[in-house]
Amino acid sequence: MKARSTLLVLCLAAAAPALAANMATCLLDKLPGTQNDVAAQAVFQVCSAEHPGGIQAVPQGDGRGMLGFKSGPECTAKKAGDTRNTRAAELIGMACRRLYDGPDWERGVLSPPKK
């Protein structure tokens, strides 16, 4: 009986809508396929409200790993390919670069230390 209860709880948890982990993942969840500026702005406002730190709070390269995209451009090509709205596509590209591009030093760019 306990195993059934545990299984039920796990199934209900998996069925609940997932909250995006950060601003970048929120944008990538909601923007693909957006067709107009009004909808793109609404998505940006919703994600900004859910993640007050904005895109700056997302650590550079936070999405990299075995199951993620290899680079920001690869992510952008996949996620923005069917998005007709330019603003939405730009926001997708911004989120992809934040999640999947490595830090500047990996690309040979030296940045001043953060204070």
With H, G, I as helix, E, B as strand and everything else as coil, classify residue 32: coil
Residues with Cβ within 8 Å of residue 85, at least 6 apart in sequence: 34, 35, 36, 37, 39, 40
**Length of the chain as a residue count:** 115
pLDDT at 63: 92
The dihedrals phi and psi of 100, each to the nearest 5 degrees, come to -115, -10
Which residues neighbour 87 within 8 Å (Cβ) at sequence distance 6 or greater?
37, 40, 41
* 1-52 pLDDT, tens digit each: 555 544 434 443 443 345 679 999 999 999 999 999 999 999 999 999 999 9
Which parts of 2-111 are beta strand (E)?
Answer: none
Global pTM exceeds 0.85: no
